[in-house]
């Protein structure tokens, strides 16, 4: 069973060979850690890094356009991003619609040229998808992170956006329609390539509770989600939704909107709550803790965490995938312990 088949079986509760495990290394890690030590860990964990080949010489990562230190980047909506560390995506420092007076001459970008954040080359994307299909790989399409709610926040500013919602600002409805039209056009172009999964990543949660009220989410954001997810559902493409933060009060709305795989954080939402709400019913793409145990705990605590999550959220039939994002600051001993645990418990239900 190859990786694609295993992932699809896990999502569809069709008895995968093992729990799909993904270990993502943020590009900033290559200038925060000893590169040789990081490469040794990757080479020692072939389940997590099956295609890894140690490169000759120093690793020189390519940083995203909005993740380059001291190089402000203006995206295709006119938002200006800045970061202080290469590899760490920055934040928007200039909101092009901070004053609604600018809206009269404001236009959306062209989805033939961009996903809204970065430039795109559809010919290149098609070639990549064709190669992936020829090689039997999993094909994942999707919108950029922060496609709707966060896009509005980037354009208006967080506080201004929330007041717009509460004040029922007429221009906000027009702006949301503009963003929804752009996203819909982008999604349909991706779906023409017939991917296995369409991803809709967007952070909605804070440490405690969501960034907007459930009522505002239902009034302004949920209808957009339903519209841009419907083409994927209609074509039988798996709908994947990512959100950082506490999204417990929005979970039912997300699933009702068509989400089939929910990627959410473990400890912020609570392992037991996730188990009660989703386990055995909706595929959980679990985002492993990056705040408490992995950066500050012991290797034993890390092993215990992964085992608990596998036991409470997993099933022999499937319904669980797990992902960890490594960022600078986690001790290498803990990185090794996490890699060890992910490989150890991946075949737990085999």
- pLDDT score of 58: 93
Q: Are 309 and 271 in contact (CB under 8 A)?
A: yes
What are phi and psi for residue 264, nearest 5 degrees?
Answer: -140, 160
User: Rounded mean pLDDT of 293-305?
Assistant: 98
Domain layout of the chain by residue ranges:
3-64+98-345
**What is the spatial distance between Cα 224 and Cα 129, in angstroms, rounded to a whole number?**
27
Which tokens is 51 given? 């295609």
Which tokens is 48 given? 């997590």
Q: What is the pLDDT of residues 164-199, one digit of tens each?
A: 999 999 999 999 999 999 999 999 999 999 999 999
**What is the spatial distance between Cα 215 and Cα 227, in angstroms, rounded to a whole number?**
18
User: Rounded mean pLDDT of 201-214?
Assistant: 98
- pLDDT score of 258: 85
User: Rounded mean pLDDT of 109-135?
Assistant: 98
Cβ neighbours of residue 136 closer than 8 Å, sequence gap 6 or more: 2, 4
Beta bridge partners of 205: 210
**What is the spatial distance between Cα 186 and Cα 115, in angstroms, rounded to a whole number?**
7
Looking at the domain that runs over 3-64+98-345, which CATH code has it been given? 3.20.20.210
| Report field, pTM of the whole predicted structure over 0.85 | yes
Flag the least confident range among 45-49, 255-259, 273-277: 255-259
**What is the spatial distance between Cα 307 and Cα 320, in angstroms, rounded to a whole number?**
13
pLDDT for 257 beyond 90? no
- pLDDT score of 340: 98
- pLDDT score of 260: 95
Q: What is the pLDDT of residues 125-168, one digit of tens each?
A: 999 999 999 999 999 999 999 999 999 999 999 999 999 999 99
């Amino acid at each position: 069973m190859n990786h694609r088949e295993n992932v699809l079986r896990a999502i569809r509760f069709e008895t995968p060979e093992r729990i799909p495990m993904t270990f993502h290394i943020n590009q900033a890690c290559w200038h925060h850690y000893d590169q040789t030590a990081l490469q040794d860990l990757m080479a020692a964990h072939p389940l997590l890094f099956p295609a890894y080949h140690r490169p000759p010489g120093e690793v020189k990562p390519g940083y995203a356009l909005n993740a380059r230190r001291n190089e402000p980047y203006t995206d295709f909506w006119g938002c200006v991003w800045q970061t202080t560390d290469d590899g760490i995506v920055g934040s928007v420092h200039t909101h092009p619609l901070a004053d609604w007076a600018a809206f009269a001459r404001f236009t959306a970008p062209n989805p033939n040229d961009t996903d809204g954040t970065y430039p795109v080359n559809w010919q290149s994307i098609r070639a990549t998808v064709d190669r992936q299909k020829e090689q039997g790989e999993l094909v994942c399409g999707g919108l950029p992170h922060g496609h709707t709610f966060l896009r509005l926040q980037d354009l208006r500013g967080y506080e201004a956006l929330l007041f717009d919602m509460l004040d029922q600002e007429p221009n906000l409805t027009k702006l949301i329609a503009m963003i929804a039209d752009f996203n819909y056009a982008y999604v349909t172009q991706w779906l023409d390539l017939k991917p296995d999964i369409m991803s809709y990543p967007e952070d909605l949660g804070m440490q405690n509770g969501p960034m907007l009220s459930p009522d505002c989410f239902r009034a302004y954001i949920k209808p957009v989600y339903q519209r841009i997810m419907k083409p994927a559902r209609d074509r039988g493409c798996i709908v994947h939704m990512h959100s950082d933060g506490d999204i417990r009060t929005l979970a039912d709305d997300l699933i009702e909107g068509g989400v089939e795989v929910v990627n959410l954080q473990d400890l912020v939402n609570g392992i037991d709550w996730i188990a009660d709400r989703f386990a055995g019913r909706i595929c959980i793409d679990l985002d492993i803790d990056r705040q408490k145990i992995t950066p500050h705990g012991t290797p034993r605590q890390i092993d215990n965490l992964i085992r608990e999550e596998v036991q409470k959220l997993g099933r022999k039939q499937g319904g669980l995938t797990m992902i960890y994002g490594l960022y600078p600051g986690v001790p290498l001993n803990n990185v090794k312990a996490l890699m060890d645990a992910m490989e150890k418990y991946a075949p737990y239900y085999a």
